[in-house]
Amino acid sequence: MPTRVNPAPASAAPTAPPLPALILLVACAGAAGALLRLTIGQIIPEHGMKFPWTTLAINISGSGMLGLLTGVAAARPWLRRWVVPVLGTGLLGSYTTFSLVIVATMPSLPGGTFEGLSAVTYVSPGTLEMLFYLLISVIASTGAAAAGVTIGRALFGCVEDPYGLGAVAAPPAREAGDGSADAGGGAR
């Protein structure tokens, strides 16, 4: 299961922030994230590149920063109330993008689907090459997120909530025959 969400993470803030205010802040942060991605795309244009390297850099840096934020929030749980949703979901979630990577990796359909496209005009990349691009994106971004979590935790000296899972403060009473499929931590 890709996103297993615990209904009530043990270390969540006692009171949830009011949703309208959160939505307003996430909207502002989302706008900033999209503008940041647009600006970087203007500085290092992908037009004519064989692979969307700018998008790769954006996704790796965004994943690393989200990991860092999560690592810091593991040591400073009050951050989870406003800062993690606004900066994590809003800014960094909007800054990084998934759909462009997928559409850019799609094998070119007969008739030149990717001819003349704004951001994905490449010099006829092969399907295998594009799949390697996707693989590099996935592995490097996941590695950056893991490194960010580790660095964030180390900087702020968190010991009791490793990796910011938020639901592992108390050791789970795992039965002997309990499969690992049910042992996924909280998503946040």
Partner 1 sequence: MTTTLSLTVVLGVALGGAAGAVLRLLLDRYARFGILVANTLGCLLLGFLYGEFSALTSADAVPDNGLFSPGVVTVISYGLIGALSTFATVSLRAAQRWVDGHRMQAAWIWLVNVVCGFVAAGIGMGLSGLVEL
Q: Residues forming the annotated binding site for Na(+)?
A: 93, 96
Among 6, 12, 81, 184, binds partner 1 (CB under 8 A): 184
Site for partner 1 in 129-168 (CB under 8 A): 134, 137-138, 141-146, 149-150, 162-165
Q: Which is nearer to partner 1, 48 or 177 (CB)?
A: 48
| Using rule CB under 8 A, residue 169 touches partner 1 | no
Distances (CA, A) of 183 to 6, 8, 180: 11, 15, 5
Q: Of 6-14, 33-41, 75-83, 122-130, which part binds partner 1 (CB under 8 A)?
A: 33-41
Among 11, 51, 52, 66, binds partner 1 (CB under 8 A): 66
Contact, 71 vs 153, CB < 8 A?
yes
Among 12, 13, 32, 83, binds partner 1 (CB under 8 A): 32
Whole-number minimum distance, CB 78 to partner 1, in Å?
19
| Using rule CB under 8 A, residue 63 touches partner 1 | yes
Whole-number minimum distance, CB 126 to partner 1, in Å?
16
Residue for token pair 């042992």:
183
Site for partner 1 in 115-134 (CB under 8 A): 115-120, 134
